[in-house]
Structure 1
Amino acid sequence: MDSLFPRISQILHIQVASLDEEESRQEYKTRVSDIHDNYISIEIPMNEATGRLKKLYIGDDLSVVFITEGGVKNYFNSYVLGFKEDGIRQVIIKKPDMDAISKIQRRSFLRIQAQLEIAVHLSGGVRFLALTDDVGGGGISFLCDPQWPLKMGGRLSCWLLIPYKNGTVEHANFTAEIVRVKPLETGKQLIMLKFIEISDTERQRIIRYCFERQLDFRKK
């Protein structure tokens, strides 16, 4: 199964999410330096057209393509976790789950790690509060106790609290589908959701928050 992951020295082609449409269409080339359980080390990406290196920041959202034997293109989404010096500067990106690698391109909305309060409504009037693990314009994930009967394919009605840098607080209501339930060693479970009903206005509130957080990461 690990053969489905990119290999050490594998060439990756990446695009970086940006509010600037021209920038988001730029493609960069890099190489896998090392692979660990939870992350992948890559070289600084380079724009093949200009020969310039691309400066990445913690939180940058990436769309990644690599080609396996037979010329098959494989796609996954990731984000920058950090950097390290190992002779040359390395970029550390999140290693995708096996089932998140696809032969179909799925450009995603910007997504960022964040702990926000979320109210979750289940059928039968059951409600509980939780904290998100990451949020984005296409979906979110949150952590909760395993006592709640949450299964893949289930639908949830949610209310997300969104604090902005200027001190204002907004909220976003949406209906989402559970795409994965992942038990964690901490005893919690990670619930991954994709939006199926959300207004453009409320989606934009989440995207605005993500870009504010990304700018914060870049200033650190």
Structure 2
Amino acid sequence: MLPKINQMLFFQIASSDEAEAAIEYKARIAEVLDEGFLIENPINSQNGRMKRMFLGDELSVYFVSEDGIKHFFNSHVLGFREDVVKLVKIRRPELDQITKVQRRNFLRVAAELEIAVKMPDQVRFVALTDDVGGGGISFICDGKWTISRGQVLECWLLIPYKNGSIEHASFNAEIVRVVQLETGRNQAMIKFAGINDTDRQRIIRFCFERQLEFRNR
């Protein structure tokens, strides 16, 4: 289902600043267009302050249906319209892009990051990620490591940001799939089984930076 006129949208804005990326804003839909929604100027859900939007801002959005279920989608700012009040035009999602599971947690980007892994038998190795997301990652490792579906790993991910800073995120993750590659190496898809909010936000911040970088090419 799509949100309707006068329905409230709640969203976060992609930002390289961790604190800014965590702020939730809300705005009412003023008009529904074929290619987008016109929304009123958003306000900070906590302090009620107006938020200035910019062309291209990436948004992680949800709305609440009449039955109380949250529906999530990703969007971005397409432009602006001067009316009685200034309206912001954001991209309208396709129906299959709206989900009851928070999409932002599963935003994934291709990235080769260094990851240190400790297996249940205490064996440790270092690998490179294939893609990274707020809900899990995949990595490529040497075929000599006996990894299998259902194993829970302890991981430490090295995260470089555009400003040159480097941070680490630690988490426990469950292997959901292992693929043997023609090169003799293995690709492991893992989902986070235990990760604190700070480390998840670090990964999400990296994903948004990378997504914006791809978008601006």
For normalisation by structure 1, the TM-score amounts to 0.56
2:12 corresponding residue in structure 1:
19
- Does residue 180 (structure 1) correspond to residue 173 (structure 2)? The answer is no
1:154-189 CA-to-partner distances (Å, cap 9, x unmatched) read 000000000011111000010000011112223221
1:91-138 CA-to-partner distances (Å, cap 9, x unmatched) read xxxxxxxxxxxxx95443221110000000012321110000111111
Match of 2:164 among 137, 152, 167: 167
Q: Against the structure 1 CA distance between its residues 187 and 49, is the aligned structure 2 distance closer, same or farther, given a 3 Å change threshold? A: farther
- Does residue 50 (structure 1) correspond to residue 33 (structure 2)? The answer is yes
C-alpha root-mean-square deviation of aligned residues, in Å? 3.8
2:134 corresponding residue in structure 1:
137
2:118 corresponding residue in structure 1:
121
Cα distance in structure 1, aligned partners of 2:126 and 2:101: 30
SS at match of 1:125: coil
- Does residue 216 (structure 1) correspond to residue 213 (structure 2)? The answer is yes
1:154 corresponding residue in structure 2:
151
Q: Against the structure 1 CA distance between its residues 107 and 182, is the aligned structure 2 distance closer, same or farther, given a 3 Å change threshold? A: farther
1:35-60 CA-to-partner distances (Å, cap 9, x unmatched) read xxxxxxxxxxxxx9411279xx9xx9
2:188 corresponding residue in structure 1:
191
| 1:22-41 alignment runs, 5 A limit | none
For normalisation by structure 2, the TM-score amounts to 0.56
Cα distance in structure 1, aligned partners of 2:122 and 2:191: 21
Unaligned runs of 5+ in 1: 1-12, 27-47, 62-76, 78-103
1:111 corresponding residue in structure 2:
108
Number of matched pairs = 146
SS at match of 2:112: coil
Q: Which stretches of structure 1, 4 residues or more, deviate above 3 A after TM superposition?
A: 18-23, 104-108
CA contact (8 A) 2:120 2:151 kept: no
Cα distance in structure 1, aligned partners of 2:142 and 2:110: 19
SS at match of 2:182: coil
Q: Against the structure 1 CA distance between its residues 106 and 188, is the aligned structure 2 distance closer, same or farther, given a 3 Å change threshold? A: farther
Tell me which structure has the larger Cα radius of gyration: 2
Unaligned runs of 5+ in 2: 3-10, 14-23, 38-55, 61-72, 74-98
- Does residue 204 (structure 1) correspond to residue 204 (structure 2)? The answer is no
Question: What fraction of aligned residue pairs are identical, expressed as a percent?
Answer: 55
Cα distance in structure 2, aligned partners of 1:115 and 1:179: 20
